[in-house]
Chains A and B, each alone.
Chain A
Amino acid sequence: MGWTQSNNRKMIWTIGGGKGGSGKSFITANLGICLSRLGIRVILIDADLGGANLHTFLGISPPAITLADFIKRRVSHLHEVLIPTTVPNLQLLTGAQDLLNAMDAKSVQKRKLVRSIQHLESDMILVDLGAGNSVSVLDFFLMSDGGILIVTPEPTSVENTYRFLKSAFYRRLRQMVSSPSVKAVIEGAMDRKNEMGIQNPYDLIKAVRRIDQTEADRIIEEAEAFRPNLILNQVRSKKDIEIGFSIRSACLKYFGIHLHYLGYVVYDQDVSNSIRRRRPLVLENARSRAAQCIMEITSKLANRP
């Protein structure tokens, strides 16, 4: 991953993957609050196409001003569409539809938008990607400094996460290679029933090596550099916690990629209680078990150099 370099370097984290309802928005909002309370200037971006609701997790009404106002040039600077929250150092940017549309476009507009985001006054940006698997979501995930997958310990959630990871992984490889025939092989490999008999990334490398040695090496390099993160949410037992480590091992064996297990959040009734009251958990009930888990993950993110 690697957003275009800039002088005022900030970390951009994208939160996605998994399934609808795995807790992406809840975790994004509460992580953002915890980080900003450490004195880090944080901007939350709601990029969930289907159901933008990050504002509700923060206890604010649907914002009147969105990214569209910037894209349609009703305002001239991106920072003018940032919405303040009740928490100092924490701002919100909404307007998912427009954001992802802009990401889709291979245009000057996309580059301009990325540059504008990069120049916002902040230290860290957290992007809630929603549950989507679309090309623009994948690109956003891949362009960020760190992608975080929120998974719950259920087969369906893990399955969807792998699907997301596979799409992201192959898309990244496809972007990295230059030979059209190698690109074609990678595209073919994304379908497990492909005619080339490519079942996994190792088969892919073998197939690519037959065409182009250097491209095969580049793919291996890319797999090394691709380091997504994992948060396991709604954990109910010690055994559930272990599933995070198992997912990490499975990814290492299957893709050869290093998935970083950032931490877990326990299943806690206080979570839905706080959402109902439209009060962020870490503010409303900082001593709850789920809030404690979020704080632990916060310190890991904050300490990333």
Chain B
Amino acid sequence: MKSIKDQTYYEILEISPTASDKEIQRAYEHAKETFHADSLAVYSLFSEEEVKEIQSAIEEAYRVLMDGVLRKSYDQSHFQSVGGALPEKPLEVQGDIREKRPSLSFTGISFQPDEELYRGKTLKQIRERMGVELPLISKETKISLKVLEWIEEEALEKLPALVYLKGFLKGYAQSLGLNPQKVVEGYLRLIEESKRK
């Protein structure tokens, strides 16, 4: 029993953490139908604000889970906290009165934190999938648009000194909701590799 604010994206959509894209899509359509402003199933139970809050949580969950990269990093930050085990009991999808809740364990599945993940090109991909324009990040982070473009283009020769670059990468990562540490590490590895060539 968790309020919408404390639910994982999987719980919000009532799916298992191993759900396929098809299942996510179906769950999303069901959730949208259910939490529609004048849906029969909600109007007498929730206040208008509550419905709005749930609606935006559904949209957010769908956006992240339907994106392979975002989903992976979401899973990493949510399910790998304690030795790779799922922190909360997984959601029961097919409710049955006497059915024991399936005890899904994530021990068999490794999320392979992939350093290569955060190259310039992947950062750009993530940003575009999120529908965020670069000028907006520039405005938010006060990092010059040019530098942001160079980061994404992997124009390594044009990039500022490492001490500054690290700070820029962190800011960029934060504005996209990515793990800054991982982004910096990934990007530095890219620079190392190119130097060796």
Give the complex CA separation of A102 and B65 in angstroms.
54
Give the complex CA separation of A159 and B30 in angstroms.
20
Q: Given the known A-B contacts A227-B95, A258-B95, are A250 and B1 also in contact in the complex, defined by CB atoms under 8 Å?
A: no
B50 with A200: CB separation less than 8 A: yes
B97 with A260: CB separation less than 8 A: yes
A248 with B3: CB separation less than 8 A: no
Q: Within residues 4 to 22 of chain A, which ones have a CB less than 8 A from any CB in chain B? A: none
Q: Within residues 66 to 84 of chain A, which ones have a CB less than 8 A from any CB in chain B? A: none
B33 at the interface (CB under 8 A from A): yes
B31 at the interface (CB under 8 A from A): yes
B1 with A220: CB separation less than 8 A: yes
A142 at the interface (CB under 8 A from B): no
Give the complex CA separation of A248 and B95 in angstroms.
10
Q: Given the known A-B contacts A220-B1, A223-B1, A245-B30, are A260 and B96 also in contact in the complex, defined by CB atoms under 8 Å?
A: yes
What 1/0 flags go to B22-63 for Cβ under 8 Å of A?
Answer: 000000001101110001111111110010001000000000
Q: Which of A158, A199, A220, A260 contacts B41 (CB 8 A)?
A: A158
- Chain A: which residue is nearest B43 at the CB level? A155
B34 with A246: CB separation less than 8 A: yes
Chain A residues within an 8 Å CB radius of B35: 249-250, 253
Q: Which of B31, B45, B46, B98 contacts A305 (CB 8 A)?
A: B98
Q: Least Cβ distance of A158 to chain B in Å?
A: 6
Q: Given the known A-B contacts A153-B40, A229-B97, A249-B14, are A224 and B1 also in contact in the complex, defined by CB atoms under 8 Å?
A: yes
Chain A residues within an 8 Å CB radius of B4: 253
Q: Least Cβ distance of A141 to chain B in Å?
A: 14
A146 at the interface (CB under 8 A from B): yes
B185 at the interface (CB under 8 A from A): no
Give the complex CA separation of A192 and B34 in angstroms.
22
- Chain A: which residue is nearest B5 at the CB level? A202
Chain A residues within an 8 Å CB radius of B98: 304-305
User: Number of A interface residues, CB 8 Å?
Assistant: 37
Q: How large is the interface on B (under 10, 10 to 19, 20 to 34, 35 or more residues)?
A: 20 to 34
Chain A residues within an 8 Å CB radius of B47: 199
B30 with A158: CB separation less than 8 A: no
What 1/0 flags go to A150-173 for Cβ under 8 Å of B?
Answer: 000111001100110000000000
Chain B residues within an 8 Å CB radius of A246: 30, 33-34, 39-42
A95 at the interface (CB under 8 A from B): no
Q: Which of B1, B14, B30, B54 contacts A256 (CB 8 A)?
A: B1
A243 at the interface (CB under 8 A from B): yes
Chain B residues within an 8 Å CB radius of A305: 98
A158 with B50: CB separation less than 8 A: no
A265 at the interface (CB under 8 A from B): no
A250 with B41: CB separation less than 8 A: yes
Known: A199-B50, A248-B95, A256-B2. 6 other contacts (CB 8 A): A158-B41, A224-B1, A246-B41, A261-B95, A304-B97, A305-B98
| Chain A residues engaging chain B, CB cutoff 8 angstroms | 146, 153-155, 158-159, 162-163, 199-202, 205, 220, 223-224, 227, 229, 242-243, 245-250, 252-254, 256-261, 304-305
Sample (24) of A-B pairs whose CB atoms are under 8 Å apart: A154-B40, A155-B40, A155-B43, A158-B41, A162-B44, A163-B44, A199-B50, A227-B95, A243-B41, A246-B30, A246-B33, A246-B39, A246-B40, A246-B42, A247-B41, A249-B14, A249-B30, A249-B41, A250-B46, A252-B14, A254-B45, A260-B96, A304-B98, A305-B98
